[in-house]
A and B are shown apart, each in its own frame.
Chain A
Amino acid sequence: MAEIRVPTLGESVTEATIGKWFKQVGEQVAADEPLVELETDKVTIEVPAPAAGVLSDIAAKDGATVAVGARLGEIKEGAAAPPKSATKPAQAPTGRPDKKTDATVAIGAGPEQPQLRAQPKEQPRSNAALAAPLAPSVRKLAVESGIEPATIPGTGKEGRLTKADMLAAIERAAAAPTPVPQPAAALRAPSPADDSAREERVKMTRLRQTIARRLKEAQNTAAMLTTFNEADMSAVMELRNRYKDSFEKKHGSRLGFMGFFVRAAIAALKDIPAVNAEIDGGDIVYKNYYHIGVAVGTERGLVVPVVRDAERKTLGAIETEIADFGRRAREGTLKLEEMQGGTFTISNGGVYGSLLSTPILNAPQSGILGMHKIQERPVAIGGKVEVRPMMYLALSYDHRLVDGREAVLFLVRVKELIEDPTRLVLDL
């Protein structure tokens, strides 16, 4: 008997929906043959057969939601290796079954005075701890903060809550997103019969639900603002026209605008590190690497594959990678890892005709650059009116950690580099 289980799905992905089973009960399957398709927040994956044999049981049907590690079904026969399950650390024997094991302190080899105890460890609350009243400071903080003590891990004796635990929980709550009150299912007043006959009710796809949830989370967590600027695209366009053929001949992909914007963005991120950083609890995590996400629209929604270590890649390599991402995004063959770990995102609404917009942050990032339609406009240059191909630029940013001044400077930098690409070469 070989069990079919939901495999690990990637960082912070805890469940998936069964897309469809490729095999039916009773069918012969070969080892590693794809058995069932699972849809996750980010991608669709296939679960291979753990052994050769006959599919004897399907535990979860099409459309069901399953958690990581859940049992999907079973295969009869086949010398399959038993599924790897996380083993819990063995508990030291205790004389009394209800008493929690304490770690004994190492002595003897140390100095005369015992070492200061390291970070108090969280423990599950023992029965005694659960029955005990809360410490006075904990009680007061719980009432004042509205945080339910039962939900907080305790580091005190036998897992009791200490004041430190409460304070830490309050700090975490302050950094956490505003809880979004989930609207009750039937909040919407039913349409009059006449209209309802003309309505079509379609269940949101998993991907769309995820997009919706993450958009709201981003909005509720960050203090999101957008700053604007505009860039004269003539220099870049001239470059493009001059070298477009030789570029395509050498690199195999077309010379677009994205490569320039990625390089410009990286230069600006180096100047304004806060935009490449992230808030984690009470800390700001500055990242000394540049994984630039490039938003790609697909029929099913927006996905953001990430060009990793973009600052080490040539323009050609970046363009090739983006083109490949685009193609595979539309085919639906992007891998989960390819969409994780981004530090900054660039989104181009211009391909659809958007002139000006306020992009939404790709949480937990602190900045997103919006590119728009290049439109010829009369602009004033040196006192005269000239017609230039202009693009509005938008930077949405998390004001909790990026100052207004920094955001403006960032965008000005991008503008400067786009308007005069030679600066990219000269690192000016």
Chain B
Amino acid sequence: MASYLYCVRSDAQQPEGVVGLDGAPVRSIDAGTLVAWVGDVADGSVDVTVERLRAHDAVCAAALTHGDTPLPIRFGQSFADDAALVRAVADREHALRERLARVSGCVELRVVVTRGRDVDVNEQTPAFATPDAIGSSASVDSADVDDEQQAEGPGTSFLRRLARAGRADLAREVACEEVRHSVRAAVGDLIIDQQRCEAMRGVAFFPVLVRRSDVDAFRAAAKNILPSQQIDLSVLGPFAPYSFSTDA
């Protein structure tokens, strides 16, 4: 059996009744002056599955509910045994303590932009003239499709779809940056830290670190203050501070 690491914390909060990957119970072990929440896995390599990702996240979420904010560990880190795990954690104790101090008393929220403003439907791109609506934010009325487009070949059609998808992505990213700056201007006093916008898998988002007591206020402010015309967004969380636990 190998030892799998979920999170590191500065207090002695016990993982009572917490279950991790593949139903294995989570336990705590002392790692220098820190405490690690760990579990047993069958061998040193851990295959990624959605179920295991959820299990890992659930352990970190459980760790967040009691005591001070833990430092969530990236999925998939296992060690030959507890002794090896403790050595690895102890070797990085100073850096981990710094990060724990940084996130102490805080949680991560993620502002996710799922749709940016529609691009002008008459906008022309250099290579592809398209009167179609852009991206997923508006439906395309087949009656409006230009005769010329109906005659285009599959290659051109494919490239036109790429162009539309790319512009939808760009619209989301632009909107996300607008949202990020608007939030900072409006409720900057609630934000302990934030990261730049990222785009992934069809959405754009930015994470913020806020005090636990400010979660509701931030969520209300994000939805009420921001320019909302044609921008769809959600505020996800609170989560353990994954985005603020990595190397600077």
Bound pair: A and B? no
Listed in ascending order, the chain A residues whose CB lies under 8 Å from chain B are: none
